Structure formats: C-alpha cells, structure tokens
C-alpha cells in the first residue's frame, strides 16, 4: 500500500536553529498538508498546499514557518528559528483529490525536540 | 465555533465489549466526519468516515452514528479486541479543494483480555 514517507523520524535541535522536515507524499496525490501534535494533545492543522501554493494556513503557521515542494516529489516544512514550544510531532499528509472523496494519508511523523 | 469536543478522554473495556466514543461539533458548515486510529509512534490512519446525509455507517466492526440535529456523532467498536487498543480521534471538515481537518482531543482505548 502506498505510503507517505517522512524523514527524519526524530530530530533534536537547539533553540534558534533552523530545521527542515521532509516528506515524500504518495506519487499521484495533489494536496499536501502539515499537522503537528504536541505530546498527549490533539492533532492541529498547520498548512495546506495545492498547485504549488499555500491554500490555507492556521494561526500557528506564522512567519517562522514555510513550506516548499522543491522538486515535484518532496514536500518540506521549514522552521526558521526554532522555539522550545515548537517541540512536537509533525505529520505530513497527502490526498489525491478533495478530502470528501478519499480522505488523507498521514505519514508516521517527525518528532522534533527543541532544547 | 471550530472546535470538536470528544469524550471520554480514556476508556477501558474487556475483550468483546463495545466501546463508544462521542464527539460534538458546533460549526454547521462541517460536512465530513472521519474517525482516525493512531498507534504509538505512528500517524493517524483513517478508520471510517460519514457525511451528514446518512445517520449511520458501518464498516466491519466499526460503526459511526450521526445525529445532525444534535450535532453529535459517535464511534462504536463491536466485539472489541486487544489489537484495537489505540488512540481514536474524531475530526470534522468543510467541503473544499484542500480542506483542513479539525480534530477532537482523542480517546485512549485499552481493550483488556
């Protein structure tokens, strides 16, 4: 079964450093998303991406966050200057069409620890 | 108005029991209600989903009941097994080309022998 692949599985970074989280969505999917889950809490929407541009972003997705699809296969989330409160599990998801038809497929996540 | 409230926070049932997890929403524009199952260290996986034009949907041992007037929906797991032990999230979304999911707070289910 096709998978959404995320790397690395775990990243530790110092506060103030830049991190890039990488995702390879399922190949024929057109819609891409990032969500995060702070330990023990609910999954929260960060951003959706379609046709090489952001479709929607949450209030969490401020100027320190950016997304990119640099080469037609990878989908990245960059956090420019990490803060302690950015420590969370970050999930990438993709969908072939609108959510109502197929839903999402989530990756296994990247656990980001900011120290 | 964007919240989805989920209860209970945790649930322990014996093998063969029928755990029921409840969710309530406020935004009447929501028209897609999925349930996700998450195992430790893994991403959420779609279990079953319902649209508001039906009151019940069953897939295998999993059933969603939907009450549009009360703005509530619930997940029932028939003949629960220890392998069903996981965290379950309800979610809601509006129609749209890149619709976001609004998740509930999750229910940690433990099925004992």
pLDDT in tens, B14-38: 999 999 999 999 999 898 999 999 9
Mean pLDDT score, A37-48 = 91
d(C-alpha B109, C-alpha B112), whole Å: 10
pLDDT at position A41 over 90: no
Cα A34 → chain centroid: 3
Summarised one tens digit per residue, pLDDT across range A50-92 is 989 999 999 999 999 999 998 878 999 999 999 999 999 999 9
Beta carbons of B103 and A44 less than 8 Å apart = yes
Q: List the single residue in A45, A103, A106 with the smallest CB-CB distance to B49.
A: A103
The alpha-carbon gap from A49 to the nearest alpha carbon of chain B, in Å, equals: 7
Contacts of B46 in chain A (CB under 8 A): 103-105
Beta carbons of A105 and B93 less than 8 Å apart = no
- Please, which pLDDT band fits residue A9 given cuts at 50, 70 and 90? very high
Q: A107 is written with which tokens?
A: 């990756």
The alpha-carbon gap from B33 to the nearest alpha carbon of chain A, in Å, equals: 9
Q: Angle at Cα A88 formed by Cα B1 and Cα B23, nearest 5°? A: 35
Nearest to A35 by CA among B31, B54, B89: B89
pLDDT at position B65 over 70: yes
What are the residues facing B63 on neighbouring strands?
B58, B76
pLDDT at position A99 over 70: no
d(C-alpha B18, C-alpha B62), whole Å: 10
- Please, which pLDDT band fits residue B57 given cuts at 50, 70 and 90? very high
Mean pLDDT score, A89-106 = 81
- For chain B, give the percent of residues with pLDDT over 70: 96
Q: What number of C-beta contacts closer than 8 Å exist between A and B? A: 68
pLDDT at position B7 over 90: yes
- For chain A, give the percent of residues with pLDDT over 90: 74
Contacts of A61 in chain B (CB under 8 A): none
d(C-alpha A71, C-alpha B93), whole Å: 29
Q: Which of residues 73-102 of B touch A (CB under 8 A)?
A: 89, 93, 95-102
d(C-alpha B43, C-alpha A9), whole Å: 12
């Amino acid at each position: 079964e096709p998978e959404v692949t995320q790397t690395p599985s775990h990243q530790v970074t110092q506060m103030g450093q830049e991190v890039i989280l990488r995702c390879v969505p399922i190949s024929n999917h057109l819609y891409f998303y990032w969500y995060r889950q702070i330990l023990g809490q609910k999954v929260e929407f960060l951003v959706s991406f379609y046709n090489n541009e952001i479709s929607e972003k949450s209030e969490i997705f401020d100027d320190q966050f950016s997304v990119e699809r640099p080469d037609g296969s990878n989908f990245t989330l960059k956090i420019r200057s990490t803060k302690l409160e950015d420590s969370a599990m970050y999930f990438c998801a993709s969908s072939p069409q609108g959510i109502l038809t197929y839903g999402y497929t989530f990756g296994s996540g990247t656990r980001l620890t900011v120290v | 108005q964007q919240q989805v409230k989920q209860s209970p926070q945790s649930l322990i049932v014996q093998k063969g029991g029928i755990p029921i997890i409840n969710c309530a929403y406020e935004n009447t524009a929501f028209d897609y209600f999925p349930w996700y199952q998450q195992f430790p260290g893994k991403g959420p996986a779609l279990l079953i989903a319902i649209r508001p034009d039906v009151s019940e949907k069953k897939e295998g041992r999993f059933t969603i009941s939907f009450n549009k007037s009360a703005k509530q929906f619930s997940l029932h797991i028939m003949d629960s097994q220890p392998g069903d032990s996981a965290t379950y999230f309800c979610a809601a979304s509006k129609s749209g080309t890149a619709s976001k999911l609004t998740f509930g707070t999750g229910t940690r289910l433990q099925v004992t022998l």
